[in-house]
Amino acid sequence: MNGAILGLIGIGLFLLAYRFYGHFIANKLFQLEAEDRHNNPTPAVAYKDGVDYVPTSKNILIGHHFSSIAGAAPIVGPAVAAIWGWLPALLWITIGVIFVGACHDFGALILSMQYRGNSMAYVAGELLGKRVRNLFLIVIFFLIWMVIAVFALVIANLFMSFPSAVIPVNFEIIVAVLMGLLINKGGKSLKIPSLLAQLTLFVMIYLGTKYPISLTPIFGDNALMAWMLFLLIYSFIASVLPVWILLQPRDYINGHQLVVGLFLMITGLFIVQPEVVAPMFNPNPEGAPPIFPFLFITIACGAVSGFHGLVSGGTTSKQVKNWQEAKPVAYGSMLGEGLLALLATLAVTAGFKTKLAWHTHYASWNAANGLSAKISAFVTGSSRFIAGWGIPEEVGQTLMAVLIISFAATSLDTACRIQRYIIGEVGDAVGVPALKNRFLASFIAVASAFALMISSDGGKGGLKIWPLFGATNQMLAALTLILISLYLIKKKRNAWPFIIPTIFISIITTGGLVLNITRFLSAQNIFLATLAIFLFLTQCWILVESFLILKNKGRTV
């Protein structure tokens, strides 16, 4: 099978989905045109404060939202799931993104905007009561706690593995701050500065390739921890700064970087036209868990992710200028992430030069599941596509490493900012107003993640609970879909486009948690088993609460 043909089919389906299904969701279910006709201001306009609530240009906001939801997950997940064959991965990425993931992200954004830009936990409190709100807060805090601890480790590892990326990635942060100050104080447009920044970034990629930077000569065996501390300090600063100083311009640069990277990969794919050397279907790879439900949990952000709902209902909902821009920002960005996941799948199934090379790399689940194996497979495969343009593979590898690190860093500091919001909502729930202070809340977010990191040698404490991330992430997606369904039922609109995905993702999550509980108990890992049981009971509780509200016709939803 020609990889370029598979890529063309996927791109065509995403374009059709945006034009037709996205339009149906936006105007038939959420009725965004009516919201704007009635001059109903968005939270960004109604509660503008210059720090978090900032009306933002659609193009800038698309860059922010996409960069925040993408990270490394739409690359890592498909790179692992390819072990079951290319067909299951590509089918779930395309179908899942169009009918589940993009609708989930879009719905979460609209729901948050309808409730003053607050989180899904706040919305849960409004729709299902305080008990469910508190459960949501616990689950969300737990999920983001893992994300901050593990993403800091992932990015630190990437800096160690690809020292050529250090110069361009850190250059991007400096330029973003200068752009933010220029635009906010001088009222200038972002277009010319961002294009100049993009061109300069390519110069920095070349310089980074020539002059890689490593902290090992300075910190020795502690180099990894040094990088993680640097990243946590950066995340704290990014979290407390107004969004226009760093978050918006940096993500706008990332958006251009993505466009260039995707363009080079897609066109390179059509130039090279590689053959897919992976099997179409590989149902029983050595050591792998069952394809159902773990394919749908492994791919995660490449198809649907609960973390995306936190971004939609965290930073993005406080920046949308008008209601109709929610469609390109949320539904469109998720299609873009699906495209990245599609290309990642092709990179690790058609990027190998021979079938033997693929089977060697994916000889077993443990071999395919290592972090370095995931990243290296994507970087190698995608740089092979880019080489179709005559770009040296080492430069292509640096370009891809910068792309991955930039998006992962965006997800990291966005997660820290969201955790700040969640801690503030916890403060409301327990009657401690001081927790709403952005400096204190950000410090708690970073310090708690650091405590998790150092609970294991080498700062890898987050990996102890990371086996629960996939199921927790998808559980949060299912719970968010429940909230969107209840909202549509309350408005007496057609909720089935969300009810059906809710049922499917709930089944997937329940199955994954049950299998994880069994696996953890068999391994006598009481700690993880206990956490998995708690998450399972939490999901059951929220499902029961939702059912009771629907059953009780006299109760206001």
pLDDT band at 366 (very low <50, low <70, confident <90, very high): confident
How far apart (Å, rounded) are the C-alpha atoms in residues 77 and 74?
Answer: 6
Predicted local confidence at residue 553, as pLDDT: 46
pLDDT tens for 252-267 read 787 777 788 889 999 9
For the chain, give the percent of residues with pLDDT over 70: 96
Give me the amino acid identity at 102: A
What's the mean pLDDT when you consider all of the chain? 90
How far apart (Å, rounded) are the C-alpha atoms in residues 226 and 223?
Answer: 5
pLDDT band at 556 (very low <50, low <70, confident <90, very high): very low
Cα 427 to Cα 37, 115, 436, distances in angstroms = 37, 18, 6
Q: Which helix (H) or strand (E) holds 422?
A: helix 393-430
- Token output for 251: 């993500």
DSSP 200: H
Predicted local confidence at residue 554, as pLDDT: 41
DSSP string across 169-183 = HHHHHHHHHHHHHHH
* Contact call for residues 331 and 103 (beta carbons, < 8 A): yes
Residue 90 vs residue 180, higher pLDDT:
90
Sign of the alpha-carbon dihedral angle for 69, 65, 26, 549: positive
367: pLDDT strictly greater than 50: yes
198: pLDDT strictly greater than 80: no
Could you tell me the domains of the chain? 3-551 (1.20.1740)
How far apart (Å, rounded) are the C-alpha atoms in residues 89 and 504?
Answer: 17
Residue 22 vs residue 170, higher pLDDT:
22
